[in-house]
Amino acid sequence: MAWQHLVTSPLRALTSRMIGAWTEPRLVEPAPDALALEPSLPVLYVLPSQAMSDAWLLAALARRHGLPRADGRRRVGELTLDACLPLPSPRRGLWRRRTRPAAPFQGLVEQRLASPAQDVQLVPVSVFWGRAPGKRFGFWHLVAADSWQLTGRLRRSLSVLVNRRSVEVHFGTPLRLGDLLDETTPDPALVNRKAARLLRVHFRRVRTRVLGPDLSHRRTLIEGVARSPEVREVVEALAAEGRPSAPRLQRRALRYGREIASNMTYPVLRFMDGLLRRLWNRLYDGVDVRGLERVKALAGDHTLVYVPCHRSHIDYLLLSYVLYHDGLMPPHIAAGRNLDMPLIGPLLRRGGAFFLRRSFRDNRLYAAVFNEYLHRLIARGHPLEYFIEGGRSRSGRMLPARPGMLAMTLRSYLRSMAGGHHQPLAFIPVHIGYERIIENASYQRELRGGKKRKESPLALLRVLGQLRQPFGRVSVSVGEPLLLGDFLDGELGPKWRQERETRPAWLTGLVPRLGETLCRRINAAAALNPVNLVALALLATPHHAIELRLLERQLDLLAELQRRLPGAAHASLPAGTAADWIEQALALGMVQRREQPLGDIILADAGQAALLGWYRNNVLHLFALTGLVAFAFRHQPAHGLDELEALLAPGWPILARELVVEPPASLREALSAMLAVLGELGLLARGESGWQRPREPLEAGECLDLLGQLMQPSLERGYLLLAVLLNAGPGRLTAEALADQGHQLAERLALLSGRDAPEFFDTRLFVSLVESLEEEGWLWREEERLMFDDRLCEAAHHSRQLFDPALRHRLQLVTRQA
């Protein structure tokens, strides 16, 4: 090919070596040794365009990683071809229409048809010298980054100089020409076009995945939103109602658009990448990323909506950094307007944040502008990120999903479907787990009734003062993506695809189910770490103190249970041993070691125990069924499978909803498997009539009690709530009154029993518990009063058998005193 022969062969080799020595690729994906090339078949590399710098860099990488040569010419059967082939670019003459030259594979196809043994492997390679999402950035746009526009020789030369450490190389799956042949009508020209088309689709998908969709200028986008038919309709309606004039309302719509819209810029992404890399190295010991291959499989041809759990302000930055660092386009992030503060707000906006008010139900014009802006992002395929919980979780639990953003996303998707132009949309659940968070103190203060402090630059400076403290590691775990089209098919059948309304009647009922499904998928990707494992074991003891030897055994037990019967589909365990995990918790200051002649003791003071409750709640759902089964053997030493199922079946769905865990398809089968595993681990023994607590060794019984203690707070809350409800009788209490009385009783019980755990009597837990009872059909409303029948009384009486007499007496005493 003439493009490779613009310079002589020795000069090409020299230039390739110089570029190889000059550049330090930031990302090579997948690893070259994972390409699974067939050694017996020749390899030709394919580039998306004629760029000598890409070919020279590829030649250097091939030498460095021991891949087949990518420079010079190769003998393929009877043909001699360049080892690196570009797909031809479209040409347009002065008086001719734009045409695309034929791809250079026809000779290879004809040779393969003549001799089936003469096959060849085509390896597509995409090279990005920096990354820019297709916007104008002045001088930096000229020299610093790839975009969707074609790159000239001068700009590419300058880019090679500037981006030596910001190069990404993406290898595609090898494509064999023989796999494309149609044996019935083998047409070389047709196969040649088919190969070129497949490669172009691949290159476009990779480019979309890395750069994101091509962005229009922010000002053009805002003006388009403000002048859209949907916004103008609201403007005219408000003007007709005697509100301000239409021109004034139009100017207000533009002001709302500027208040909302992000202004993602590549220089800021580059700056924040370097800044955050230093921050993570300073703040954390490392970031563990799992499951990102699920995102990469969808990123090229799906609109991605990331829905992470919300634990810390760091969440905003962490996920964008992880995606950018792994070769994916950072998303546009929905952030609260409270973060649009001086200095911080402009930086976040240029990093991709768009801001929304906490509530805009009574502002029709703002709602129309925001909906239109969100729709245009989704319709153009831009990745999005928002937190379906609404705010950060102060208790460490997964909060119920808020319907607002989910409903707007669904309406936008239906609007695109009705318009006949859309691409598939996928929700990406993400679990973010910390060994220590920077908001520890503020969360505890707010759980005790303190006011939430307003965000400000001064508050940020106070946070920066904590950077010298150890914060351990952080994990980012991607769960099972939810394809919105498939979800709607499963919930509604195919009829929704003929829907032409953007607000159908079924939308209101569907959004909560979508939110619940996403919350479960987020929790299903939870990552266990040393701190939450230690918290699970230590907080199960009466006085938050445990012998070091017993703690190690309990941690080993928790890990083994997770390996044998995972509490969630994509949950993960930390590296190391139980002793390593305890040392990590000690190093982070989460627990203390007290040396004793008979053996060291690990303990937590009142402040540490309150903090550990937050980390325990991050992963408590992973041991929900295990803890419930263990608790059943605390008071009654033996249970048969039938008896155990009858005992646990009424309360299990309520507990599963509280902890946001996917219930098993068959509770009986899950209980049978759980009993078998507990028996294999020595915590239960099979008897004549079923399973029973082991008499020896005593330590096994202690481990079983610690497991059961995990579920005791949840069961106590349920007991208190039912006691209030049954004592009052049907039709006497509203849902709000019941939740409030349950909260007061739980707070009283915590004070009387010496628990310093505000999350135990969190009002939201009781509100959610009442909602769960309604969802399961135990309660219903008549004129806002809660009604129930004898079925609830019988189930409550049956469930009381879980509690031993002493605990039941204590709970009844607290209820009667109140």
Per-residue pLDDT tens over the stretch 503-545? 888 999 999 999 999 999 999 999 999 999 999 999 999 889 9
The more confidently predicted of residues 708 and 346 is 708
Asked whether residue 263 carries a pLDDT value surpassing 80, the answer given is: yes
pLDDT of residue 138: 43
Give per-residue pLDDT as tens, 129-153: 876 544 444 444 444 455 545 455 6
**Stretch 632-660: mean pLDDT:** 90
Distance, in Å, from the CA atom of 640 to the CA atom of 632, rounded to the nearest integer, reads 11
Identify the burial level of 162 via C-beta atoms within 10 angstroms of its C-beta, where 0-12 means exposed, 13-18 middle and 19 or more buried.
Answer: middle
- pLDDT at residue 154, as a whole number: 65
Q: What's the whole-number average pLDDT of the chain? A: 84
In degrees, rounded to 5, the angle at the alpha carbon of residue 769 between the alpha carbons of residues 717 and 733 is: 95
The rounded distance, in Å, linking the Cα atoms of 239 and 232 is 10
On the question of pLDDT at 39 being above 80, the answer is: yes
Q: How confident is the model at residue 136, as a pLDDT? A: 40
Among 178, 211, 244, which residue terminates a domain? Answer: 211
pLDDT at 604: 93
Number of domains in the chain: 4
181 in the Ramachandran plot: left (φ > 0), alpha (ψ -120 to 50) or beta?
beta
Smallest CA-to-CA distance from 769 within 744, 743, 787 is with: 743
Instruction: Please check whether residues 453 and 572 belong to one and the same domain.
Output: no
Same domain, 418 and 327: yes
Residue 489 is part of a domain; what is its CATH number? 3.40.1130
**What is the per-residue pLDDT for 146?**
55
Q: What percent of the chain has pLDDT over 70?
A: 89
Judgement on whether residues 64 and 158 belong to the same structural domain of the protein: yes
Q: What is the pLDDT of residue 286?
A: 83
Asked if 24 contacts 93 with a C-beta cutoff of 8 angstroms, the reply is no
Contact 626, 674 (CB under 8 A): yes
What local confidence, expressed as pLDDT, does residue 133 receive? Answer: 47
Of 709, 725, 754, at which residue does a domain stop? 709
pLDDT of residue 460: 59
Tell whether 635 and 737 lie within a shared domain. Answer: no
The domain that holds 720 is classified in CATH as 1.10.10.10
What tokens appear for 605 in the block?
């003071």
- Residues 357 and 378 placed together within one structural domain of the fold: yes
Structure confidence by residue, pLDDT tens digits, 202-256: 888 888 788 776 555 678 888 899 999 999 999 999 999 887 888 999 999 999 9
Confidence category of residue 29, pLDDT binned at 50, 70, 90: confident
Encoded tokens for 367: 């709602």
Lowest mean pLDDT among 215-229, 354-368, 417-431, 447-461: 447-461
DSSP conformational letter for 753: T
- What's the confidence (pLDDT) of residue 143? 47
Q: What is the pLDDT of residue 409?
A: 95
Residues 705 and 794 in one domain: no
Residue 177 makes CB contacts below 8 A (sequence gap 6+) with 105, 108, 109, 112, 119, 120, 122, 191, 195
Taking 50 as the threshold, does the pLDDT of residue 390 lie above it? yes
Q: What's the pLDDT at 145?
A: 52
Band the pLDDT of 328: cuts 50, 70, 90.
Answer: confident
Helix (H) or strand (E) holding 571, with range, is none
Residue 321 has pLDDT above 60, yes or no: yes
Helix (H) / strand (E) element for 384: namely: strand 384-385
pLDDT at 623: 95
| 618 and 500 within one domain | no
Percent of the chain with pLDDT over 90: 37
Of 185, 211, 237, at which residue does a domain stop?
A: 211
Residues 360 and 224 occupy one common structural domain:
yes
What are 272's two structure tokens?
A: 């924040």
Convert the pLDDT of each residue in 650-675 to its tens digit.
889 999 999 999 989 899 999 999 99
Residue scoring higher pLDDT (461 or 451): 451
CA distance 791 to 778: 8
Say if residue 282 is in the same domain as residue 151.
Answer: no
pLDDT digit string, tens, across residues 62-85: 888 889 988 888 888 888 888 888
Write out pLDDT tens, residues 331-357: 999 988 888 888 788 888 888 889 998
Measured CA to CA, the distance from residue 796 to residue 552 in angstroms comes to 37
Shared-domain flag, residues 155 and 291: no
Nearest one of 384, 228, 215, 202 to 306, comparing CA atoms:
384
Report the pLDDT value the prediction gives residue 99, as an integer from 0 to 100.
58
Which of 249, 259, 260 minimizes the C-alpha distance to 227? 249
What is the pLDDT averaged over residues 680-687?
91
Determine which of 17-31, 208-222, 417-431, 548-562 has the lowest per-residue pLDDT on average.
208-222
| Model pTM score | 0.83
pLDDT attached to residue 338:
83
Question: What would the mean pLDDT of 704-731 be, rounded to a whole number?
Answer: 89
Nearest CA-CA partner of 619 in 331, 396, 446: 396
Cis peptide before 30 (omega within 30 of 0): yes
Domain range for 131 is 2-211
Q: Are residues 689 and 727 in the same domain?
A: no
Spatial contact of 83 and 135, defined as CB atoms under 8 Å apart:
no
Q: Kindly state whether residues 301 and 375 are assigned to the same domain.
A: yes
From residue 55, give the alpha-carbon distance in Å to each of 52, 62, 169, 440. Answer: 5, 10, 11, 51
- C-alpha to C-alpha distance for 251 and 161, rounded to whole angstroms: 45
Least confident of 38-42, 461-465, 576-580: 461-465
